[in-house]
Amino acid sequence: MAQRLKVPGLVGELAAEFAGTAILILFGVGVVAQVAAAGTGEFDSIAWAWGLGVTLGVYVAGRISGAHLNPAVTLALAVFKGFSWRKVMPYALAQTAGAFVAALIIRWNYSEVLSRFDPGLTSKSQGVFSTLPGAGVTEWGALRDQIIGTAILLFLVLAVTDARNSLPAGNLAPLIVGLIVVAIGMAFAVNAGYAINPARDFGPRLASFLTGYETAFQDTSGYPYFWVPIVGPLVGGVIGAGLYELIIGRFLPSEDELEPGALATENAPAEGELARV
């Protein structure tokens, strides 16, 4: 029987982050291409496919890397959960690379649909790949929205993956995290498209720019909007994780202080590897 290839720790983790984020984008950007450019499906299809993409990406990468799939998650874990700072930038680059490659695949696969829908490759179809501010929303309003949305994401992700809290049983945490993303999409999509993930936005934005979308880094007014879904989620993620620690985390018992009869937390992830997005 062939022996399994032994991959060095960080290399394997980066490969997992790349693959998990690529799965997320294949389903997320793919569904937007179907709904927006081909008219197949509706907004609920988008919200559910993004959430399922997160769930499936987490199942792909979770055992190896912790399945952050999001630089905002990685940064927040480094700030509050002891995740190694030396891994933050490599993780973010692997996540962005996975999103970039997956977006190229979607761009290729839906090239005919996109060309028919928007022959000039303008902002009309740019939203398939990256986010734009909603009608009447300024860049500062969009920034506020991204901070709030990502803060909610990190607060809830830590709540459902904290080994000291009530962990979902039967390896259902990835499904619950996916449902969190569905809920955020249904409640916080209008202002800025709920990127809540710098890699999710910048990777596909770069892919679209390199394949014909000349205004990919701008909004419809010509403002260089690309920084908003990068800075907003990074700030919001740290805020959300900090609020979780302030309001909930510091009051939870340590694992050896749990009362008899407390909910089981066996097979819990190590500190600093808690988040599964």
158 lies in some domain:
yes
pLDDT of residue 268: 42
Residue 108 is part of which domain span? Answer: 8-247
185 lies in some domain:
yes
CATH number of the domain enclosing 211:
1.20.1080.10
Number of domains in the chain: 1
Show the tokens assigned to 128: 């398939």
226 lies in some domain:
yes
Q: Report residue 223: phi and psi, to 5°.
A: -70, 140
19 lies in some domain:
yes
pLDDT of residue 167: 81
Are 82 and 271 in contact, with CB atoms under 8 Å apart? yes
149 lies in some domain:
yes
Q: What is the spatial distance between Cα 228 and Cα 252, in angstroms, rounded to a whole number? A: 34
pLDDT of residue 260: 44
117 lies in some domain:
yes
Q: How far apart are the first and last CA of the chain?
A: 34
pTM for this structure?
A: 0.90
58 lies in some domain:
yes
54 lies in some domain:
yes
Q: Report residue 218: phi and psi, to 5°.
A: -115, 165
**What does each of the 277 residues of the chain score in pLDDT, given as a tens digit?**
445 555 569 999 999 999 999 999 999 999 999 999 999 989 999 999 999 999 999 999 999 999 999 999 999 999 999 999 999 999 999 999 999 999 999 999 999 999 999 999 999 999 999 999 999 999 999 999 999 999 999 999 999 999 888 888 778 999 999 999 999 999 999 999 999 999 999 999 999 999 999 999 999 999 999 999 999 999 999 999 999 999 999 999 876 654 443 333 334 444 444 443 4
pLDDT of residue 183: 98
Cβ count near 196 (within 10 Å)? 33
